[in-house]
Amino acid sequence: MFDVPSNSALRGDYSRMRPDYTVDQDWSAYTAEEHEIWRLLYRRQSAMLPRYACREVIEAVRLMDVADAIPDLAAVNRKLAAATGWQLVAVPGLIPNDVFFDHLAHRRFPVTIWIRTREELDYIVEPDVFHDFFGHVPLLFDRTYADHLYEYGKGGLKAMRLDAVKMLARLYWFTIEFGLMRGNGDLRVYGSGLLSSYGEIAHSIDSPEVQRYPIQLEWVINQYFEIDHYQPLLFIVDSFDHLFDLVGELERWMRHGRLDNVSPGEPAISEPDLRSFLEASTSK
């Protein structure tokens, strides 16, 4: 399932990974063409941020200063450790749920190391370094959001033991991947799937076809989602503190057995169908 054709020698290479699925990034192995693809993606996506992204994303992207080349994770880690205590770890691609949660629960965020081709600028089947880095990493510089993701990782490990991964997947999808935030009266994007998508970031805010509702945990964990088109339904949080509270509430529901009657459905959430949460949350 990891054999994906590419002109990148790094794509889908699981042969050199460690037991925790990490690899060395080997930044010097990137070609001039791959750095140019990064610059193309970065230029057009960063131009969308002032209109659509939340303030924390805009500030963090400026702080990271990674416009000119695929980021060197070691260099970014020095800044990230000082800001929130997180670290980025390089991975070859999709990783299993338990490994993913364990990294989050130790304040490590897995970043895929290969980058898409020019033919895939607007659509890619699985996460690459641009999605993982541009979509996820900026908010790791925000203390509240970073703490939320840490708790999400711990909650994910508990959810696996309680057979409640489906509910965590839905919360992840409608917040971390496709979340909106209301700031100073305006709707803003913070979800990584929106931040890294050239077409959907504008669609999520401007399109009359999208239903947007203030988030309610009961709705989210009972809401089926689809992964192969622009999202027709999005949920709005008030702040990252609000988001953090939702994770704590869902964990309490898990502990008290309140998730037994959650609606069925989901595209490939079980381990036999997925290697990772990230497959469901980025295959669009």
Q: Show which residues are catalytic.
A: 131, 136, 177, 196
b/e code 147-179 from CB counts within 10 Å (16+ = b): bbbbbbbbbbeebeeeebbbbbbbbbbbbbbbb
SS3 18: coil
With tokens 């309610």, the residue in question is 216
Helix (H) or strand (E) holding 247: helix 240-255
Instruction: Report the alpha-carbon distance of residue 9 to residue 22 in Å, rounded.
Output: 16
Q: How far is CA 232 from the centre of its chain?
A: 19
Q: Which residues pair with 213 in a beta bridge?
A: 235
How do beta strands 180-183 and 186-189 pair? Answer: antiparallel
Q: Measure the CA dihedral 38/43/49/52, to 10°.
A: -100
- Which phi and psi (to 5°) does residue 172 adopt? -60, -45
